[in-house]
Amino acid sequence: MQVLVLNSGSSSIKFQLFTMPEAKVICSGMVERIGLDNAKIKYQSEQIAIEKEEDIKNHKDGLQLIANYLMDDKIGVLQSASDISIVGHRVVHGGNTFAKTVEVTEEVKRKIKELSSLAPLHNPANLEGIIVAEEIFSQANQVAVFDTAFHQTIPVEAHKYAIPNTFLEKHNIRVYGFHGTSHKYVSEKAIDFLGIQQSKIITIHLGNGCSMTAVKNGKSIDHTLGFAPMNGLIMGTRCGDIDPAILFYMVNTLGYSLEEVNMLLQKESGMLGLTGYSDLRDIEAQAEKGNTDCKLALEMNAYRIKKYIGSYATILNGLDAIVFTAGIGENSDLMRSLVCENLDFLGIELDTEKNRIRSKETRTISLPSSRVKVLVIPTNEELEIAKQSFAVLS
């Protein structure tokens, strides 16, 4: 069975085509910079790799272009659009409504649209991807996989805010959590790798967006992101944890509008606000050249992660492993080193040489004497979406 996985962002569409249940990748790629003059498509299969600029005005154009590449006589892997049996879609916010993966119906689409106010940068683009895919792959079953679903197991004492009860009861204001597809995938990989069922694991997803999850026996019990994907760790352009009193001060005393505050905290803060760079590779390079702002930002980033490691180790009442994943977590040996430094009291001892090794495989980077295993596990959200989509319709 052919399962196409789509991750529709505001200006991009990532895709992977799988055969299931074998979970074999047939091809993958992305359309990026949709609506801009230098929009492009990247397409890769076993036979060919292509990167080409195209005129891509909107998501419908982008998805049609992907379909054209998949069915091209010379490079394509499909005979027709009807070869696709399932299209699995990443949807960022499922609110309280969706605690598991579901087949898309009109009611599901209506709910996703309603929840757009909780994830205005993501849900509208996710929904657009579903609507366009229904047109192009009309014979396929459409499935929605929600980032928030994995965190629906967070207990009430962890997901409820200390504000009047009516805000939870009537308005569903609570901790939802995000990056759930990634945290679920790597935590299950870690449990298999360690060979234990009763497990206490902290998964650390570090990319442009960052989050951590306390995972007990395979279930999420706490998470750094909350009502929206904005608090917790320091991110590429988002501030992470901040005293709410600062927001009132900015509005009432400094004269900022609410819209300006929102833009500043979401788009102009985090590593970008601290250094002028949002890409950690640039920040590490500048720090190596002696840039003091970049050095401090890296230290602040690691410090925030350490705080949550200590907090979650307490909540879990012990710790079997910490797992680094996503673009920064998998590739930055410097960030992993800064995070693990001086955590020997928790039983975390990093192997410096193993930490420097680059690999796409699950690996241990802690010393044999380390009571807590330190793992690097490449995430694969697309495979997880394919697996969940296939399972729903099997």
Portion of the chain with pLDDT greater than 70, in percent: 100
Listed range (13-17, 30-34, 86-90, 247-251) with the worst mean pLDDT: 30-34
pLDDT 10s digits, 188-244? 999 999 999 899 999 999 998 899 999 999 999 999 999 988 899 999 999 999 999
Q: What is the pLDDT of residue 94?
A: 92
**b/e map 85-121, b = 16+ CB within 10 Å:** bbbbbbbbbbbebbeebbebeeebbebbeebbebbee
Output helix, strand, coil percentages for the chain, rounded to the nearest 5: 40, 20, 35
Q: Which of 147, 222, 320, 333 is catalytic?
A: 147
Whether the predicted pLDDT of 78 surpasses 80: yes
Task: Name the DSSP class of 350.
Answer: B
Tokens representing 161 are: 């805010």
pLDDT tens, residue by residue, 243-278: 999 999 999 999 999 999 999 998 899 999 999 998
At 87-97, the pLDDT tens digits run: 999 999 998 88
In terms of DSSP H, where are the helices of the chain? 59-70, 106-114, 123-136, 156-159, 166-169, 180-194, 244-252, 258-267, 270-275, 280-288, 292-316, 326-331, 333-340, 352-356, 381-393
Domain residue limits, the chain: 2-146, 196-376
Burial class, 151, CB count within 10 angstroms (exposed 0-12 / middle 13-18 / buried 19+): buried
Single-letter residue type at 158: A
Rounded distance between C-alpha atoms, residue 203 and residue 181, angstroms: 12
Paired sense of beta strands 141-146 and 102-103, if any: antiparallel
DSSP structural state of residue 235: -
CA angle 160, 161, 165 (to 5 degrees): 80
Query: pLDDT (tens digit, 9 = 90+) per residue, 304-339?
Result: 999 999 999 999 999 999 999 998 999 999 999 999
DSSP annotation of 15 reads: E
196-376 and 2-146 share a CATH fold: yes
Q: What is the largest CA-CA distance in the chain?
A: 64
What's the confidence (pLDDT) of residue 58? 87
φ, ψ for residue 324, nearest 5 deg: -95, 135
Fold of the domain built from segment(s) 2-146: Nucleotidyltransferase; domain 5 (3.30.420)
Question: Could you tell me if 278 and 305 are in contact, meaning their C-beta atoms sit under 8 angstroms apart?
Answer: no
With cut-offs at 50, 70 and 90, classify the pLDDT of residue 74: confident
Q: How far apart are CA 280 and CA 236, in angstroms?
A: 8
Q: What does the alpha-carbon distance between residue 90 and residue 123 come to, in Å, rounded to a whole number?
A: 9
The pLDDT score that the predictor gives to residue 120 is 79
Cα separations (Å) of 48 from 27, 73, 77, 201?
A: 9, 13, 11, 39
Answer yes or no: 241 catalytic. Answer: no
CATH topology of domain 196-376: Nucleotidyltransferase; domain 5 (3.30.420)
What per-residue confidence (pLDDT) applies to 218? 95
Classify residue 44 by burial, with Cβ atoms within 10 Å: 0-12, 13-18, 19+.
Answer: middle
pLDDT for residue 244? 95
Residues with Cβ within 8 Å of 1's Cβ and at least 6 positions away in sequence, in order, are: 19, 20, 21, 85, 86, 390
Q: What amino acid is encoded at 227 in this protein?
A: F
